């Protein structure tokens, strides 16, 4: 009898435990999906599963150049603004132009750029000090980048160096049966940029740094499961290797006697500010180098890869682009002379092709910001600490701004109003937050096209199928054959 009562008691408490656990699970799931107790005016949307959120839906591949299906379907379901959760982070996603403009104008006030979060943790910043630091860091980063990669530096120094680097890469490609555009152009741009930043020489390095960055950036959209065997774990190993290498680079440069001639690169300039500019420390410089290298890795190469796809599908555009560059060479007294700044600035159709490629094939769906305090916009309240994604890609496909937005038509840029462009075309960010490397990126692409189209022939061999998860990529790359013109 005692045994029966014992087993009944165990079963009763087991049933009670299961019931409580079930109720707790349901309650947690409900609160997760409907976080409205404190903030009653959140945008519509679903937070997905507890902790996981809608991460799997976001990383499920899409196969078009425009918006990822996760964003497209939810914009159709909830409207231009909705909430979700990705990798345990609450997110508001907005394709509303007015809201996006408001968010961009709030930078340094109630929102910050996502990269600032790393610097804030580094300096243990919060509140007003965090906002002030955000302004300083952005201004410092932008100033240094423009000084070394802006228009003046391009005109005085970088343009002929880019031409030499492109020529070297194209010569190498012409000796191969075929090359995969994204990988090869990533390495070309990355290694050139790294050389300008801290004197990196891939031929003297035991490990190819561009490969480490490729591995690291290639798994950022995976679930953050940081244990051996996972993709994220391997990603973090590559990140650790990169950071350790950059720390050593900075230490080695700091150890160089001041009497020795300086390299005059980005790192030299940043090191001079250690101890003289607030917040500029050895650790800060390391993170600065890392941020600049990340920014340089994919932007140019992915745009060039998309351009090869689009040009191979639109031969009339390729013909007009080639004619513009042939005309530049034919107008020279010395046909073998280097590209001049005036010739670069004369490439009107080239700029239109670049702009149209950036418009129709946005690399990322939008720009990320983090709220520093509760903000109210468009009738919604977004809590402090949430991420806001400004979906600039949706504006670039706005049919009211761009006629037949799905069509690749570089000539549309001849007559587009500047106000329409400023409101709907932000591939490098907008306003004072526009990427300081925008002109550098465009110049690199223009020089690349000039050398390719005047001295080489190319044909697409295979690939070119788009995949988004949600960053732009190619299913099997895009492979081309490059040969020297005779």
Tell me the binding residues for heme.
435
Binding-site residue ranges: 435
- CB-CB contact of 242 with 209 (8 Å): yes
**CA gap 173, 180 in Å, rounded:** 10
Rg of the Cα trace of the chain?
26
Q: Which two tokens stand for residue 289?
A: 């180098």
**CA gap 382, 392 in Å, rounded:** 19
**CA gap 188, 181 in Å, rounded:** 10
CA 381 to chain centre: 27
**CA gap 16, 11 in Å, rounded:** 8
Q: Left, alpha or beta for 79 (phi > 0: left; psi -120 to 50: alpha)?
A: left
To 5 degrees, how large is the angle CA 259–CA 262–CA 265? 160
Count of residues making up the chain: 486
| Beta pairing class for 111-113 and 89-94 | unpaired
**CA gap 312, 460 in Å, rounded:** 7
CA 386 to chain centre: 20
Residue 113 is classified by DSSP as: E
**CA gap 448, 454 in Å, rounded:** 10
- CB-CB contact of 391 with 94 (8 Å): yes
Residue 432 is classified by DSSP as: G
Q: Which two tokens stand for residue 88?
A: 């345990």
């Amino acid at each position: 009898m005692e045994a029966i009562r014992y087993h009944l008691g165990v079963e009763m408490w087991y049933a009670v435990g299961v019931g409580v656990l079930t109720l707790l699970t349901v309650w947690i799931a409900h609160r997760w999906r409907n976080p409205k107790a404190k903030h009653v005016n959140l945008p519509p949307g679903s937070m997905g599963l507890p902790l996981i959120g809608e991460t799997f839906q976001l990383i499920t591949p899409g196969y078009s150049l425009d918006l990822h299906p996760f964003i497209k379907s939810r914009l159709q379901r909830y409207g231009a603004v909705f909430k979700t959760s990705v990798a345990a982070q609450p997110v508001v996603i907005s394709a509303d132009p007015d809201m996006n403009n408001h968010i961009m104008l709030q930078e340094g006030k109630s929102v910050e750029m996502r990269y600032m979060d790393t610097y804030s943790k580094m300096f243990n910043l919060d509140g007003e000090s965090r906002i002030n630091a955000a302004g300083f860091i952005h201004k410092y980063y932008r100033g240094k980048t423009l000084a070394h990669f802006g228009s003046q530096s391009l005109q005085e120094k970088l343009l002929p160096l880019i031409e030499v680097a492109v020529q070297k890469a194209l010569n190498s490609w012409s000796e191969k049966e075929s090359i995969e555009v994204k990988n090869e152009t990533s390495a070309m741009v990355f290694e050139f940029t790294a050389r300008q930043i801290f004197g990196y020489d891939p031929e003297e390095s035991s490990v190819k740094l561009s490969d480490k960055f490729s591995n690291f950036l290639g798994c950022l959209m995976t679930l953050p499961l940081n244990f051996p065997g996972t993709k994220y774990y391997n990603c973090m190993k590559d990140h650790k290797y990169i950071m350790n290498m950059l720390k050593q680079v900075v230490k080695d440069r700091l150890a160089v006697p001041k009497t020795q001639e300086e390299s005059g690169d980005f790192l030299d300039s940043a090191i001079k500010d250690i101890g003289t500019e607030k917040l500029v420390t050895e650790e800060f410089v390391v993170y600065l180098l890392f941020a600049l290298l990340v920014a340089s890795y994919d932007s140019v190469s992915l745009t060039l890869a998309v351009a090869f796809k689009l040009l191979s599908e639109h031969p009339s555009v390729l013909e007009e682009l080639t004619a513009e560059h042939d005309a530049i060479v034919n107008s020279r007294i010395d046909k073998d002379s280097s590209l001049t700044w005036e010739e670069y600035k004369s490439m009107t159709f080239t700029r239109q092709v670049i702009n149209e490629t950036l418009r129709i094939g946005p690399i990322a769906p939008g720009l990320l910001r983090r709220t520093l305090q509760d903000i109210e916009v468009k009738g919604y309240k977004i809590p402090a600490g949430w991420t806001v994604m400004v979906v600039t890609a949706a504006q670039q496909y706005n049919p009211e701004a761009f006629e037949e937005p799905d069509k690749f038509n570089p000539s549309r840029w001849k007559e587009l109003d500047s106000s329409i462009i400023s409101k709907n075309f932000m591939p490098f960010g907008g306003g004072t937050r526009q990427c300081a490397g925008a002109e550098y990126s465009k110049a690199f692409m223009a020089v690349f096209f000039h050398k390719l189209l005047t001295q080489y022939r190319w044909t697409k061999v295979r690939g070119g199928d788009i995949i988004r998860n949600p960053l732009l990529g190619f299913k099997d790359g895009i492979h081309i054959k490059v040969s020297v013109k005779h």
